[in-house]
Structures are given as structure tokens and as C-alpha cells.
Amino acid sequence: MFKYFGILFLASLLFSCTGGEDSAKIGQYTTFSIDKVYDAGKVAKGELIQATFEVKNTGTYPLIIADVQESCTCTVSDYPQDPIEPGETGTIKATVNTDETNRGNIKKPIEITANTRPSTTEVNIIAQVID
């Protein structure tokens, strides 16, 4: 009797772990579009640059943003934690504190890691920091 219960338990566990048709699976690569440069123009030294990047899933599988890495003077405040379905959009928000940058032209990279090929995409925040 215990043997049959064990088999039944394992079978139910196996079937409960499979996702539906819409769930993302390992090995499903997709594509996305994003403006690769956010140009803040001329900003005063000490000003915060609030950059927004819109990400659109242009592929056929859900887009999963695994990580967003910023350079030393950027702070990524928000990025989609849930998969972005095909045709849908999400937003990545980042801030640059110009108190921590040099004057003149600046370029701050942000690296997005997702289920795409290649797996990383770089976007940049650019500005001209003035007095």
C-alpha cells in the first residue's frame, strides 16, 4: 500500500511542477527593442538625471530581465521583475547624481541581462554637466 502511495505522490508532484503554455522556460530566447541612449542634454552640476528606458518585447517568448547593472554613479531604481509578454512593454528607471560626476560630457552605461542572444545589452545615459 505504501508503495502505491509513494508512486502516486511522485506522479502528482511531477505534474504539478510543469508550467502552463504561457510560462517561461529555460532555453526560450526572445528579442526586445530599447532606445540605447538617454540624452539628458545640458544639466547643472548637482542635478539628478532621472532616465527612463522603455523595453518592448519583440519576440515570441516572455522577456525575462534577470539583472540590471549600473556604473558607479548610476542607481537603477526600478526594472520589471515579472516576465514581459510578447508585444508588451516594461520600464527601466535609473538616476545619475551629477554631484558625483565630472563637469563636461558624461556617459554612464547600464547593462541589461535577459533571455536574449547575446544575453547582455548596454544602454547609456549621456549629458553635458555644466556649472
Which one is predicted more confidently, 19 or 34?
A: 34
Residues facing residue 116 across a β-bridge = 30
Whether residue 108 is predicted with pLDDT greater than 70 in this model: the reply is yes
Number of separate domains in the chain: 1
More confident residue, 26 or 33: 33
Encode pLDDT of 55-98 as tens digits. 999 999 999 999 999 877 678 879 999 999 999 999 999 999 99
Domain hosting residue 87, numbered range: 28-130
Does residue 59 fall inside a structural domain? Answer: yes
* 27: region left, alpha or beta (phi > 0 left; psi from -120 to 50 alpha): left
Question: C-alpha dihedral over 40, 43, 46, 51, to 10 degrees?
Answer: -10
Asked if residue 6 belongs to a domain, the reply is no
Average pLDDT, the chain: 85
Predicted model pTM: 0.78
